[in-house]
Chain A
Amino acid sequence: MKHTSTVGKSNKLVLVLLILGLTTIAFPLYLTIVIAFKQPSEMTNSISGILSLPKTWSLNNFREAMEVTNFWHSLRNSLLISVLTVVLSIAIHSLMGYALGRNKAHSKFYSFVYLFIVSGMFVPFAILMMPLAKQTAELGLANWFGVIILYVVFYMPMNIMLYSGYLVNIPMALEEAAKVDGASTWTTYWKIIFPIMGPMHATVAVITALAVWNDVMTPLIIMAGSGENTLPLAQLNFQSQFGTNYNLAFASYLLSLIPILIFYIFCQKQILNGVTNGAVK
């Protein structure tokens, strides 16, 4: 009895702390929403002015923002690139993470490959830009497909690190049991290891999807001149040095936030499902 009451107390404390912390998020979000509904003529530098509610709650900004960014078309491009990148990343990076994670402790070769790939994470993108622009064009990859390949390579170091980190806590005994049953390494991986890494897949999916969803630079330099836009590329239309329409821009950012938020909430469930399945022990 006593035990449960202390737990209840600490949980209430946690709840209070979380709600306090939430203000640091609620405030910017409130500003974003309010500005997205206002007209440029309602913008001021006074604090009461910026905090006030818009005069009318009209969806015009959203409508116009969708028009300017060619929303559905750009959304489709963004979705296509993000979904394919995430699927390929999970398949390729988890395999590579498995191969490297299981071997790097006892094999010089694998440990070198691991360090080699992980160090690729630290290459400043600016130095790769020009050569990549040239190389993708030479290979006929100056299109969305080239962008996906580049993403799969860019996020490989981080994801491999995540996967092989996760493998540390997955006991070898599981694989050995399967081996006794006569399954090949390949089958063992897909039948046993891959499903166990569920929470990690969800984590990788969230992190990769997020990075891809918001990225401007890669599509900018690779797809330049192809006439195709992703959402962040289309959103560049709202800013220029001499004038930025914040109201339209904020409306547009709110719109593009929704798909990724839904995806995140879905993945969160997967991260937790890993435990309830009791797979990791």
Chain B
Amino acid sequence: MKNDRQRTFLLITLPILALFICFNTIPLIRGVIYSFTNFKGFGKYDWVGFRNYIDLFSDARVGKSYLFTIKLAVVSTVVVNVLSIALALCLNSKIRAKGFFRGAYFLPNILGSLVVGYIFNYFFTYILPAVADMAGISSLSTSILSSPSKAWIGVMIVCAWQAIAMNTIIYISGLQTVPEDVYEAGGLDGATGWKQFRYLTFPLIIPFFSINMVLCVKNFLMVFDQIMALTKGGPAQSTESISYLIYNNGMSGGQFGFQSANAVVFFIVIVLISVAQMKFSGSKEEQL
């Protein structure tokens, strides 16, 4: 009996693992090999040893992009998770027109980035300054996207606006695993509102919380579409994310080898962050 179980698990795991290695690990290794060359993306190339990696650590632009990306990721992750949990709880409660609301709040995620870019550019460039003028807030009377110190806030807002939909879906499906009788029992003990959430609901959706945290951190660290749609790295290179640099200079420009090195380092950084995150939330899960 036990053997059957183990054999089945192996028969499931091995072929799928092989598929994964073939289309993820092997290309990655090939990419890592390019990071030791001055390959432009076409034509001939030379081996340059560790030059790309040494350059990477002395490149101010790369350093700046790491700072920007991490700042964006941390703030967006917090904002998105707080709002998505709240939204998921709201959408999961007994309200009218639930289906309508769920559909509506899903929309930001499906609007193409050209549309999102155009609308938010318009909003930040014309509408927000006009509103701020009327309200007498002078710090917002010029477009925040044109200020190197404030543009990241615009990017953050759009990232959050788009990401909340997906995270909410995951939280909603997490809330489905919370059995009704937990609330009934809790209701008898007088747990309502915040207390009910903190001591009954939240512990039960911790696996989903940690999934969302990991996905958020990953998605925001790898932010690309929103940058392309909104600022293209400007103003004054203040919103160049790491993925933007890797794609723009590696694929569109002729720095494929160097940006492969950047991608390798970046990959290691995200894996470390995420493993730490998973370890942390894993220990939380075990406590329960």
Residues on the B chain within 8 Å of A135, using CB: 23, 26-27, 30
Residues on the A chain within 8 Å of B30, using CB: 130-131, 134-135
* Contacting pair A47 B130 (CB below 8 A): yes
User: Which residues of chain A from 11 to 27 have any CB-CB distance to chain B below 8 Å in the complex?
Assistant: 11, 14-15, 17-18, 21-22, 24-26
B96 at the interface (CB under 8 A from A): yes
Most buried by A among B34, B109, B204, B242: B109
Q: Which residues from chain A sit less than 8 Å from chain B, CB to CB?
A: 6-7, 10-11, 14-15, 17-18, 21-22, 24-26, 28-29, 31-32, 35, 45-47, 50, 92, 95-96, 98-100, 102-103, 110, 113, 115, 117-124, 126-132, 134-135, 149-150, 152-154, 156, 158, 161-162, 165-166, 168-169, 179, 184-186, 189, 199-200, 202-203, 206-207, 210, 213-214, 232, 235, 238-239, 244, 246, 249-250, 253, 256-257, 260-261, 264-265, 268, 271-272, 274-275, 280-281
* Contacting pair A161 B211 (CB below 8 A): yes
* Contacting pair B208 A127 (CB below 8 A): no
How far, in Å, is B35 (CB) from chain A's closest CB?
8
* Contacting pair B93 A122 (CB below 8 A): no
B87 at the interface (CB under 8 A from A): yes
Chain A at the B interface: mostly helix, strand, loop or mixed?
Answer: helix
B70 at the interface (CB under 8 A from A): no
Q: Which of B23, B114, B122, B207 contacts A168 (CB 8 A)?
A: B207
Residues on the A chain within 8 Å of B122, using CB: 31, 50
Partner-binding segment picked from B51-59, B60-68, B148-156, B172-180: B172-180
Given contacts A123-B267, A130-B34, A281-B179, contact A161 B214 (CB under 8 A): yes
Given contacts A124-B243, A128-B28, contact A162 B170 (CB under 8 A): yes
A-B contact sample (12 more), CB < 8 A, given A161-B211, A165-B210: A7-B94, A14-B90, A115-B275, A126-B243, A127-B32, A128-B27, A135-B30, A210-B166, A249-B114, A261-B106, A265-B99, A281-B179
Which residue on A lies nearest to B288, using beta carbons? A168
Tell me the complex Cα distance, A152–B120, Å: 32
Tell me the complex Cα distance, A119–B215, Å: 11
How far, in Å, is A162 (CB) from chain B's closest CB?
6
